Structure 1
Amino acid sequence: MDQLHTPPLMERLKSLALYPLPHHGISRLVGHATRWRNPLWKNTLIRTFIRAYDVNLDEAEDRDAADWPDFNSFFTRSLRDGTRPLPDDPTALASPVDGTVSALGRIEAGQLIQAKGQRFSLQALLGGDPALTERFRDGSFLTVYLSPRDYHRVHMPGAGRLERMIHVPGRLFSVAPHTVRTVPRLFARNERVVSLFQGPSEPFAVIMVGAMCVASIETVWHGVVTPPAGRRVRAWDYHDDSRDLRQGDEMGRFNMGSTVILVYPRGAVRWAEALGPGDTVRLGQKVGAWLQGIE
């Protein structure tokens, strides 16, 4: 287990200020503001955001503020065809997003690494289901953080058949690096959507974690999952409604940004040796490989 680690005082104070805030109220307000279609408002907001975060639009289908009907359409912008090629290796696992690796490795004693000195429960992450937790016990995980400047659609890391989707209500703490280092069990406290798939031989989960100012999370098969936030875990079973997705297919998006966590069973995958925390990854980049079951 991790040794005791105390983050810098300023980081802890910044995170402490987030606790009393009305996370969902702020996020809903931001959601309305980012969908306001007043041309002056949305064009000014988009251009200011591009300058502030040095957003690269070279690969986007649209490139001018006037091309998007509102800020959210810009934030969830699509890419031009061919800008994110997939691996040629049929055993490869592709990054589901553009972002930065926060953590990766083995799930040990039912715990995932959040940051140095911070861990959180797999069972809590998956909504408290013991049977589901058992499927991934001692497995592997990869956590990728999407910064404001990143592309914010989420794609399939490998081929899979959708089995189940779970919405787990919770807070909406920021998922910026300093909060990940200072807020205990952050990813198991924030609102999230867990999508469960059956891969070539093993199941896997793609978890979309909400955050402050994430006005909604949606999937291609359901549409908007949240809001409403609710107080109870909700689940949808797709066993009788077969949905097969290929590697690289879009599966969902964040309407404002956040974090994606991939979870695999024990012995199912191996992460790329050169991959580590702090590394930048791009959608479609090989981040690991299945160990068996690929024809």
Structure 2
Amino acid sequence: MLDRIKIALQYVLPKLWLTQLAGWGAELQAGWLTKLVIDLFVRFYRVDMQEAQQPETSAYRTFNAFFVRPLRDDARPIDSDPDALVMPADGIVSQSGPIAGGLVFQAKGHHYSLEALLAGDERLVDDFRDGSFVTTYLAPRDYHRVHMPCNGVLREMIYVPGELFSVNPLTAANIPNLFARNERVICVFATDFGPMAQILVGATIVGSIETTWAGVVTPPREGIIKRWRYPRADEDGAVVFLKGQEMGRFKLGSTVVNLFANDGVSLGDHLHSRAATRVGGRLATGIAQADSPLP
């Protein structure tokens, strides 16, 4: 009964208003009050502050500064095997596996389409049809910066407006098409293992989604799809990443969906639902493509 009430509230609560309020509050510099809120959050969610570059909560002037805290340089070693793709975020695996034609598995009884997830972009749908995917859920206690699974060249970023449902496991199991309904930022990379999409999914009280090359992507929330294209690796202005580099962050919340091309990677057998993830741990083994090096 309680779960049904929680799901019903997802449909009736003013999610955008709550998200805007949370974003406003998280940016307040309120001195001792900010520290108190952070201390209570750390205690309630059992956040390991010893991993942070700055473990003292008094060092953070806003809640957002605490929430996107950088970790110590040695806190997340990156798998150095050149064929290894690594986990992009701390959290748990929501689901992973093959993409069945154009359908991605969300939870028992629920699939969503690549077409809906990728905002109807037929070219991208074709890139990932019959490929593979990993969905990573970041809980409040987790480190909220997102990193690159492998070397890549950014080719495109697409902002897709949408709902702001919660993305926790209960919601994923009960709200159809969740990740294709919510606000999201789709980042498409060329890699030695074929095209890869890393999709940052918004949620209730996620104050903003940021990338390292563009800064804050949302808000504002203007209700329209926005698209940015970027140069190839051999062109001026190319945006190039190495495996393990930070590429984005969430100010509160959320989920990362990775898409890989057919025969691009072999996902690790350890990626069962609810398996813990840590940035830099092995996610998959890459299968080098005939058109390598990076285009």
TM-score scaled by length of structure 2: 0.95
Q: How far apart are residue 109 of structure 1 and its match?
A: 2.8
Q: Is the 8 A contact 2:193 2:286 kept in 1?
A: no
Read off the aligned partner of 2:221 and give its amino acid letter: A
User: Partner residue of 1:6?
Assistant: none
Q: Show the counterpart of 1:140.
A: 132
Counterpart pick for 1:168 among 157, 160, 182:
160
Q: Which shows bigger deviation, 237-246 or 160-169?
A: 237-246
Structure 2: runs of 5 or more not aligned: none
1:32-60 CA-to-partner distances (Å, cap 9, x unmatched) read 10111011221010000001101111110
Give the one of 255, 266, 270 matched to 2:266: 270
| Counterpart position of 2:281 | 285
Distance 1:12 1:100 in 2: 23
- Counterpart Cα distance in 2 of 1:227 and 1:119: 28
- Tell me, yes or no, if the aligned pair for 2:187 and 2:199 is still in contact at 8 Å: yes
Q: Which amino acid aligns with 1:246?
A: L
Q: Who is 2:113 aligned against? A: 121
Q: Which residue number in structure 1 is paired with residue 254 of structure 2?
A: 258
Q: Quote the Cα distance in structure 1 between the aligned partners of 2:53 and 2:194.
A: 35
| 1:218 alignment partner AA | E
Distance 1:250 1:27 in 2: 24
- SS of equivalent to 2:285: strand
Say how many residue pairs are matched: 287
Per the alignment, residue 37 of structure 1 pairs with: 29
Determine if the alignment matches structure 1 residue 244 to structure 2 residue 236.
no
Query: How far apart are the structure 1 equivalents of 2:126 and 2:46?
Result: 43
Structure 1 residue runs without a partner (length 5+):
1-8
Q: Distance in 2 between matches of 1:256 and 1:96?
A: 17
Counterpart of 2:52, as a letter, is A
How far apart, CA to CA, are the structure 1 residues paired with 2:96 and 2:35? Answer: 38
The percentage of counterpart residues that share the same residue type is 43
CA distance in 1, matches of 2:8, 2:140: 22
Q: CA deviation at 1:201?
A: 4.3
* Runs ≥4 residues deviating over 6 A: none
Match of 1:85 among 77, 89, 92: 77
What is the DSSP-based 3-state SS (H/G/I as helix, E as strand, rest coil) of the residue aligned with 1:19? helix
Report the alpha carbon displacement of residue 150 of structure 1 after superposing the two structures with TM. Answer: 0.2
1:154 aligns with 2:150: no
2:193, 2:265 within 8 Å by CA — same for their partners in 1?
no
Q: For the residues of structure 2 that align with 1:111 and 1:55, how far apart are their CA atoms?
A: 36
Structure 1 position 173, deviation (Å):
0.5
Conserved in 1, the CA contact under 8 Å of 2:155 and 2:189?
yes
8 Å CA contact 1:12, 1:182 repeated in 2: no
Q: Which residue matches 2:220?
A: 228
Kept in 2, the 8 Å contact 1:207–1:261? The answer is yes
Aligned counterparts of 1:256 and 1:111: Cα–Cα separation in 2: 28
Contact preservation (8 Å) 1:161, 1:244? yes
1:276 alignment partner, SS class: coil
Please give the alpha-carbon distance, in whole angstroms, between the structure 2 residues aligned to 1:111 and 1:12: 26
Greater displacement, 83-92 / 233-242: 233-242
Asked whether the 8 Å contact 1:110–1:137 carries over to 2, the reply is yes
Q: Secondary structure at the match of 2:36?
A: helix
Task: Work out the CA distance in 1 between the residues paired with 2:4 and 2:228.
Answer: 37
Post-superposition offset of 1:88: 2.2
11-20 or 116-125, which deviates more: 11-20
Report the CA distance between 1:20 and its aligned residue: 1.9
- Residue equivalent to 2:4: 12
Corresponding residue number in structure 2 for 1:196: 188
**Paired residues for 1:37-116 under 5 Å:** 37-116=29-108
Counterpart Cα distance in 1 of 2:95 and 2:183? 19
